Amino acid sequence: MKTFCLPDLGEGLAEGEISKWHVKIGDTINVDDPLVSIETAKAVVEVPAPWSGKIIKLYGKEGDIIPTDSPLVDFEGEGKQETGTVAGEILVGNQVLTEKATAISSRAGGIKVLPAVRALAKKLNVDLNAVIPSGVDGTITAEDVKKANATLSNAAPLEPLRGVRRTMAIVMEQSHAQVVPVTVVDDADITAWVKEKNFTVRLILAMVKACAVEPALNCWYDGQSMGRRLWNTMHIGLAMDTGDGLFVPVLRDAQEKSAIQLKEEIEQLKQAVQNRTIAPQQLQGATMVLSNFGKFAGRYANPIVTVPMVAILGVGSVREEVRAIKAAPSIRSILPLSLTVDHRAVTGGEATRFLATVLQNLQAP
């Protein structure tokens, strides 16, 4: 008697549920014939017969949970299964003996892949989502996995995100799933004061005045309750890039502070971020965000709104441009602005009125 045990299906799971038997006791089958369908948390995998022979015992009925490496089927004959891998591509030790990419397939995350190929990908630590399929009907083959592994061998090992970068990834994923973004762009002519180079303070003062005109953007939105909370105070988050990731310290009560006070507090926040002494409380509670991505490069962007806020103002790189001033060409200093709002809570009219007020204040001497 030969006993076939439930193999590692390449999902990294400790068990599987018998979805459907394709054989019954007494049947005589050939190698690679469909044996059983096993359902995991990710897919229904069709497991083929590892040998030809007569079925003399089935371990479990449909709906039963079978642990990996536990007996699944007894075949007539001598010996016991020596490998816990999936037939179809029968893996003995570390060697691939055969490959059949047509008869046995499953879908994981929308990708067709043989169980044995999935096991190979797991062994080589290859993400199947990054593999380009070349097999029949878009099936990933062992060669596809090997090619992907060869390509990845030239890259650094997978680096798990931790700390600030992990938090950023979670927040961005949440925003992508929840926010309905719309971005409006325009240019501010800042020729009158560009030599001052006090961009951040001028922008904050302009945002404060714009929110006095259009308070809908200084707001938190609750998607579950479908309600918004307007704020009487402005707590502006300042996006700051560091080697460790993105920090957004919060400048509180901006509407109550003078230009000198704003400049001093901005410098204090920058130093706290650079020295990694920023308190957690100083990274929470923003009602709107200002992102000066143009410090490095870029003219326009579509900044990401983070919940529960509904607006973020992005600032691009200052450029010189020839414009007609009083019917004569003139070289002007132009500051590009990109405003993204959550369209669930902010209308197009509210967004453009806010941006128009920002422009008006930035273009004043």
Cβ neighbours, 10 Å, residue 238: 22
Local structure of 340: helix, strand or coil: strand
Q: Is residue 141 classed exposed, middle or buried when 0-12, 13-18 and 19+ CB atoms within 10 A define those classes?
A: buried
Rounded-to-integer distance, Cα 163 and Cα 144, Å: 34
12-41 confidence digits (pLDDT tens): 567 778 889 999 999 999 988 999 988 765
Please indicate, yes or no, whether residues 174 and 207 belong to a single structural domain of this protein.
yes
Please indicate, yes or no, whether residues 143 and 199 belong to a single structural domain of this protein.
no
With contact defined as beta carbons under 8 Å apart, do 45 and 27 qualify?
A: no
156-203 confidence digits (pLDDT tens): 777 777 777 888 888 888 899 999 999 999 999 999 999 887 889 999
For the cut 70, the answer to whether the pLDDT of residue 101 exceeds it is: no
Please indicate, yes or no, whether residues 91 and 179 belong to a single structural domain of this protein.
no
Listed residues 109, 125, 152: the one ending a domain? 152
Mean pLDDT of 267-282: 89
Rounded-to-integer distance, Cα 155 and Cα 145, Å: 16
107-154 confidence digits (pLDDT tens): 344 557 777 788 888 888 888 777 888 876 777 888 888 888 888 777
End-to-end Cα spacing for the chain:
92
Looking up tokens 């991505």 gives 293
Local structure of 54: helix, strand or coil: strand
E-strand stretches of 49-127: 53-58, 65-67, 71-75, 91-92, 95-96, 106-108, 111-113
CATH code of the domain covering residue 6: 2.40.50.100
User: Quick one: tokens of 275?
Assistant: 């020295």
Please indicate, yes or no, whether residues 220 and 321 belong to a single structural domain of this protein.
yes
Rounded-to-integer distance, Cα 30 and Cα 36, Å: 14
Residue 158 lies in a domain: no
Write the CA distances from 17 to 20, 22, 38, 252, integer angstroms. Answer: 9, 14, 5, 55
- Determine phi and psi for 7, rounding to 5 degrees: -80, 170
Rg (CA), the chain: 30
Please indicate, yes or no, whether residues 167 and 139 belong to a single structural domain of this protein.
no
Which of the four pLDDT bands, split at 50, 70 and 90, describes residue 86?
A: very low
Please indicate, yes or no, whether residues 140 and 32 belong to a single structural domain of this protein.
yes
Residue 157 lies in a domain: no
CA nearest neighbour of 313 among 334, 338, 343: 338
With contact defined as beta carbons under 8 Å apart, do 221 and 345 qualify?
A: yes
Rounded-to-integer distance, Cα 362 and Cα 355, Å: 10
Listed residues 124, 152, 180: the one ending a domain? 152
Rounded-to-integer distance, Cα 227 and Cα 345, Å: 8
339-362 confidence digits (pLDDT tens): 999 999 999 999 999 999 999 999
Mean pLDDT of 258-276: 93
Please indicate, yes or no, whether residues 238 and 309 belong to a single structural domain of this protein.
yes
Looking up tokens 């006095």 gives 212
| Greater pLDDT, 110 or 3 | 3
User: Quick one: tokens of 248?
Assistant: 């957004």
Domain that holds residue 145: 2-152
Listed residues 105, 124, 152: the one ending a domain? 152
Please indicate, yes or no, whether residues 131 and 182 belong to a single structural domain of this protein.
no
Please report the pLDDT score of residue 266 as a whole number: 95
Residue 18 lies in a domain: yes
For the cut 90, the answer to whether the pLDDT of residue 81 exceeds it is: no
Please indicate, yes or no, whether residues 170 and 147 belong to a single structural domain of this protein.
no
Total domains in the chain come to 2
Please indicate, yes or no, whether residues 132 and 214 belong to a single structural domain of this protein.
no
Q: Hey, which residues does 137 pair with through a beta bridge? A: none
CA atoms lying within 13 Å on the CB side of residue 334: 14
Looking up tokens 């007996």 gives 71
Q: Which residues lie below 8 Å from residue 261, measured CB to CB, with a gap of 6+?
A: none
Q: What is the pTM of this model?
A: 0.62
